[in-house]
Amino acid sequence: MINRITTAVALFLLLSLAGRSQVSVTAQAYAEVMEALSAVETSQMNFGRFSTLMNGGQVILSPSGERSSQGSVMLNGGFAQPGIFTVTGAPDASFTIQLPQGPALLMHQGSNKTMTVDGWASDPPAGNGNIILQQG
């Protein structure tokens, strides 16, 4: 009986001391909330003036703004320029440029004449934070 009481008292003391010798740890956590990326069209794509003859052809507008023609297309001046977008966000943020996979059909609202645009290309210059994307 004394042996059982001694064991119970020893176990009680052991558990009591273990409960009082608890260790606490304090830590700090930091997080940086990055601003969202945004893209704004600053200049619309414009093919300028051109005329198609009997067999048609192509007007080629590069991302740098150079315009040329193939087939029976005559370039008639006008202001041609690539579509330009300004992309802003946090430095070192990454983004993906996704161009259409297939052709887009454009229709003139006054004459209902159509033009197919395909062979999409872009030229983003290197940079972080503020980047100008030119699309042709």
Q: Is residue 122 part of a domain?
A: yes
Q: What's the distance, Cα to Cα, between the start and end of the chain in Å?
A: 96
Q: Which domain holds residue 89?
A: 34-135
Q: Print burial letters for 58-97: b (CB count within 10 Å at least 16), e (below 16).
A: ebebebeeebebeeebeeeeeebbbbbbebebeeeeeeee
- Find the mean pLDDT for residues 22-51: 83
Asked if residues 117 and 106 have their Cβ atoms less than 8 Å apart, the reply is: yes
User: Which of 10 and 76 is assigned the larger pLDDT?
Assistant: 76
Q: Is residue 79 part of a domain?
A: yes
Give percent above pLDDT 90 in the chain: 28
Q: What pTM does this model have? A: 0.62
Q: Is residue 6 part of a domain?
A: no
**What tokens appear for 73 in the block?**
């297309």
Q: Is residue 24 part of a domain?
A: no
66-84 residue pLDDT tens: 999 999 999 998 899 999 8
Q: Is residue 42 part of a domain?
A: yes
Q: Is residue 9 part of a domain?
A: no
How many domains does the chain fold into?
A: 1
Q: Is residue 10 part of a domain?
A: no
Its sign, for the CA torsion 7, 10, 12, 14, is negative
Closest CA to 35 of 102, 101, 85, 87: 87
Q: Is residue 120 part of a domain?
A: yes
Closest CA to 51 of 80, 72, 78: 72
Closest CA to 80 of 60, 100, 99: 60
Phi, psi of 5 (to 5 degrees): -70, -40
What is the spatial distance between Cα 26 and Cα 41, in angstroms, rounded to a whole number? 49
- Residue 126 confidence class, pLDDT cut points 50, 70, 90: very low
